[in-house]
């Protein structure tokens, strides 16, 4: 069978040549695309009962892809957002094959015509200053583990870093001198410099004492780097424990992304302009950052107070104005 008709070689080229060599996408994005294709191949294999090595490009028909997407939602209980994420990976594969194989251009066009489902924009969750302070005070800093956990939470709040970004910070990325800062490796291997509060710098300075420059800043009890999943569990644990005594937090789940949103909203309240916040968080587009201007009720209330119309004082009815009536009768 002609190699250009088989699906397997194209998937290998897509993952190695396109995602890594051409687009240099992050490891997490590569993993997401790979997982999508694994699920898709398993579904097509069960549908056609054909060996994976003999699957053709044409076997990935629009009908089969629609069935696969429906299966994600109904059987695997995936959200609409996850369904759309999987479809984006399939669209990207179809585009790649169509560009390099003109005979499959029409096939790729049909596949890319499968629409994304509209989703409701989730409400951005963030913490008030008192709530964030309560979570920062949760861990016992007199123990090594508690000190590290406090340092991690303070770092996330100071920088607005994603969990994966915090997990990959090395000692060499820290500048803890007169103007403390940290070099953060963000999505797409983009690097940004984020300032640190003097208090954060002091906490981190004690945390990384005796560490080599190539050591990770945040490590577990065995000395191995914390993963983004470990950071997520740590923040979630603090949130659950604090919310048990704080009624305002009880109904909300706290995650590293909640802390990231909190950083953005608190910067906005402090008067930092939206473009600086965009650079601080590592957003590519200002549109992504603009959501924080939409969610802050406190700032909306202050804006409303500035344009509030004063209540008009009601004048007496003209009939009761005896002076005017006397004047008119005297004419």
Contacts by residues 72-77 (CB-CB < 8 Å, ≥ 24 positions apart): 72/39
Encode burial over 36-51: b for 16+ CB neighbours within 10 A, e otherwise. bbebbbebbeeeeeee
CA 159 – CA 259 distance, rounded (Å): 10
Catalytic residue among 23, 187, 233, 237: 187
Helices (H), the chain: 7-13, 27-48, 62-74, 80-100, 105-112, 129-136, 144-159, 163-167, 198-207, 228-243, 256-269, 274-281, 286-289, 291-295, 297-306, 322-329
Going from the C-alpha of 64 to that of each of 47, 48, 155, 198, the distances in angstroms are 8, 10, 46, 57
CA 103 – CA 128 distance, rounded (Å): 57
Look-up of token digits 């202050």: 302
Check if 292 is active-site: yes
Check if 190 is active-site: no
Check if 187 is active-site: yes
Residue 6 DSSP symbol? B
Catalytic residue among 13, 100, 257, 269: 257
CA 164 – CA 157 distance, rounded (Å): 14
Catalytic residue among 18, 168, 260, 278: 260
CA 160 – CA 137 distance, rounded (Å): 18
Check if 148 is active-site: no
Check if 49 is active-site: no
Check if 185 is active-site: no
Catalytic residue among 86, 104, 148, 162: 162
CA 283 – CA 278 distance, rounded (Å): 5
Catalytic sites, residue numbers? 162, 187, 257, 260, 283, 292
């Amino acid at each position: 069978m002609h190699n250009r008709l088989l699906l397997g070689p194209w998937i290998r080229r897509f993952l190695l040549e396109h995602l890594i060599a051409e687009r240099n996408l992050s490891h997490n994005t590569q993993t997401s695309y790979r997982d999508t294709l694994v699920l898709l191949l398993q579904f097509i294999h069960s549908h056609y009962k054909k060996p994976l090595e003999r699957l053709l490009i044409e076997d990935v028909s629009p009908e089969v892809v629609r069935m696969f997407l429906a299966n994600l939602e109904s059987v695997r209980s995936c959200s609409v957002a996850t369904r759309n994420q999987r479809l984006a990976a399939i669209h990207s594969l179809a585009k790649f094959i169509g560009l390099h194989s003109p005979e499959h251009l029409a096939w790729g066009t049909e596949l890319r015509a499968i629409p994304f489902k509209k989703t409701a924009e989730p409400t951005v969750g963030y913490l008030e200053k008192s709530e964030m302070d309560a979570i920062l005070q949760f861990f016992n800093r007199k123990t090594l583990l508690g000190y590290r956990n406090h340092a991690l939470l303070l770092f996330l709040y100071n920088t607005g870093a994603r969990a994966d970004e915090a997990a990959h910070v090395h000692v060499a990325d820290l500048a803890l001198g007169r103007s403390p800062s940290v070099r953060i490796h963000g999505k797409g291997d983009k690097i940004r410099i984020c300032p640190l509060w003097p208090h954060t710098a002091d906490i981190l300075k004690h945390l990384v004492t005796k560490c080599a420059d190539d050591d990770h800043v945040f490590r577990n009890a065995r000395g191995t780097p914390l993963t983004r999943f470990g950071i997520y569990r740590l923040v979630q644990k603090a949130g659950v424990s604090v919310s048990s005594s704080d009624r305002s937090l009880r109904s909300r789940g706290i995650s590293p992304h909640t802390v990231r949103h909190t950083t953005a909203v608190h910067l906005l309240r402090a008067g930092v302009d939206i473009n600086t916040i965009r650079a601080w968080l590592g957003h590519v587009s200002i549109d992504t950052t603009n959501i924080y201007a939409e969610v802050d009720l406190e700032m909306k209330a202050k804006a409303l107070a500035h344009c509030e119309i004063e209540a008009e004082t009601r004048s007496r009815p003209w009939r009761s104005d005896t002076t005017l009536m006397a004047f008119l009768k005297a004419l």
